[in-house]
Amino acid sequence: MHGVFHLVICGGGIAALEGLLRIRSLMGDDVRVTLVAPNDHFVYRPYAIRQAVGAGHGRRYEMWSLTESTGAEWVKDSLMEVDAGARAVRTSAGRELRYDALLLAIGGRLTGDIEHALTFSDAEAYGISERVVADLEAGSGKSMAIVIPEGAVYPLPAYELALMTAARTRGAGAEEPALSLVTPEPYPLAVFGATAGAAVTGLLTQAGVTVYRSAIAYVPSPGRLLVQPQGAELSPDHVVAMPRVTGPAIPGVIGGGPFGFIPTDDRCTVPDTGGRVFAAGDATSFPVKHGGIGAQQADVAAAAIARLAGGGGADERFEPEIRGKLLTGGPPLYLRARLVGDQGFDSEVFTTPPWPVDDKVIAAELGPYLAGLDNR
C-alpha cells in the first residue's frame, strides 16, 4: 500500500458515505480509503419521522457491509483531534492515522435544551409514537405543541410531524386534537423560500394546525407554553421540540467557526490545513442543515480530493441547491430551492418528484446505491 494516495473520511452519515462513493466513482481503487465511524449501522435519519407517527420503520444498513462493498477500511472509532501539520488524525482509542487528504463529515451535535419538552430524535422516534401520537389518536391527549428553537435546526421534521399527526388522528373516532407549531421563521420552511412557504402554510391551514411565526416558545412548567412576542399562553398535553445543532469543535481545526462549526471555502476546503482537509455536512458553518446539502458538499470535496490524487477532473464549486421531500400524511410535496446571490432562496414546489430517485434526501451517489440495496 506504500505510495498509494490515502483518504481518511471521518463520519458515518450521509455526507461521509456520499464522499466515499463519489471518490470511488472518480478514482476507482486508485485511492485507499479509511472510514472512521463509531456507529455499527448507517441509519437513514430522514425517515425517522415515519416511526414517530407509527407509520413505518426507518432504514438501517450494516456499516461493515457498506464499507466492504466499496473497498474501504472501516475503523470503528471516533475522531478526537486533527494534526494538519503532520497530516494525521487521532482517535478516541488512541489510534493515529496518516492521510494524504481528510474529509470531515462527522455531523453536528444534537442538543435538547427546552425543559419539559420531549426532544425529537432518531432514538426518541418510537417514544413519540407511543407516548404522544398514540395518546392523541386514542383521545386521551387533547393537544400537542411542536417547537422549533432558535439557532441551527432541522425544520423539516417539525412540519412533517404536525401534518402527519393531523392526518393520523383525523377520523380516529375521538375529538381531533388541537395542534400548534411555534417557529422563529418568518414563514414555514423559510429556508426553502417563499413559494415553498406558501404551499406548506396552505397544508398546515387545511390540517388545522395553528402556526406562530417569528416566535419563541418558553415552557416554564409541564403543560404550560408561552409564545412571545405574541403573548399567547397554551396548555398542551404534549410538547415536542426539535433539537438544536451545534458544531463538533474539533481540536486542531483552526477557526472552529461559530458554535464549533467548521468553516469551508467554495471547494469545501478547511482554511489553514494545507489544502488537504475538507469538510461536508452538518459540521460545517453553512447555515442550512440538510442531508442533501451535505451530499453536495461531499461531492465537491471528492472532486478536489481526486485532483490532489492525480485524477484530474472538473474544478467543482459548492453551489447549494436544497431538494427535499415533505411527508404530509397524504401525497408528499417536493421542494427545491436554489441560492440566489445573497438574497435568499428561489424556490419551486412539485407534486411529483422532479429528480430521478424518489427519496427524502437527494444524494447523487448514495441515493441510487441505497435503492439498489433495498431492491435486492
Question: How confident is the model over 215-244, as pLDDT tens digits?
Answer: 999 999 999 999 999 999 999 999 999 999
Tell me the average pLDDT across 296-303: 97
pLDDT in tens, 141-165: 899 999 999 988 989 999 999 998 9
Residue 27 Cα to chain centre, angstroms: 27
Question: Which H/E stretch holds residue 334?
Answer: strand 333-339
The whole-angstrom separation of Cα 334 and Cα 352 is 7
- Reading phi first (left if > 0) and then psi (alpha if -120 to 50, else beta), residue 272 is in left
Q: Is a pLDDT exceeding 70 seen at residue 257?
A: no
Pairing state of beta strands 238-241 and 101-104? Answer: unpaired
The whole-angstrom separation of Cα 42 and Cα 143 is 34
Q: Point out which residues pair with 216 in neighbouring strands.
A: 228
Q: Is a pLDDT exceeding 80 seen at residue 348?
A: yes
Q: What is the pLDDT of residue 345?
A: 65
Peptide bond into 229 cis (omega under 30): yes
What band does 127 get if pLDDT is binned at 50, 70 and 90? confident
The whole-angstrom separation of Cα 331 and Cα 75 is 41
- pTM score, whole prediction: 0.91
Q: What is the pLDDT of residue 35?
A: 98
Q: What is the pLDDT of residue 148?
A: 96
Domains detected in the chain: 5-108+247-374 (3.50.50.60), 131-242 (3.50.50.60)
Higher pLDDT, 73 or 374: 73
- Mapped onto helix, strand or coil, the DSSP state of residue 182 is strand
Distances (CA, A) of 100 to 115, 312, 332: 45, 16, 43
Residue 102 is placed in which grid cell?
481528510
The whole-angstrom separation of Cα 200 and Cα 333 is 9
Q: Which residues of 182-196 are buried (b: 16+ CB within 10 A; e: fewer)?
A: bbbbebbbbbbbebb
pLDDT in tens, 70-96: 999 999 999 999 999 999 999 999 999
Q: What is the pLDDT of residue 1?
A: 40
Is residue 355 within 8 Å of residue 335, measured between CB atoms? no
- If you search the block for the grid coordinates 481540536, which residue do you land on? 251
Pairing state of beta strands 31-36 and 73-75? Answer: parallel
pLDDT in tens, 19-66: 999 999 999 999 999 999 999 988 877 667 766 666 556 678 899 999
Q: What is the pLDDT of residue 51?
A: 65
Q: For all residues of the chain together, what is the average pLDDT? A: 89
Tell me the average pLDDT across 167-171: 83
Pairing state of beta strands 31-36 and 178-182? Answer: unpaired
CA-based nearest residue to 322, from 356, 283, 369, 355: 355
- Mapped onto helix, strand or coil, the DSSP state of residue 198 is helix
Question: Which H/E stretch holds residue 355?
Answer: none
Residue 173 DSSP one-character state: S
The whole-angstrom separation of Cα 194 and Cα 344 is 10
Residue 67 DSSP one-character state: H
Is residue 161 within 8 Å of residue 179, measured between CB atoms? no
What band does 376 get if pLDDT is binned at 50, 70 and 90? low
- If you search the block for the grid coordinates 441509519, which residue do you land on? 43
Q: What is the pLDDT of residue 102?
A: 98
pLDDT in tens, 309-344: 998 778 899 999 888 889 898 999 999 988 765 555
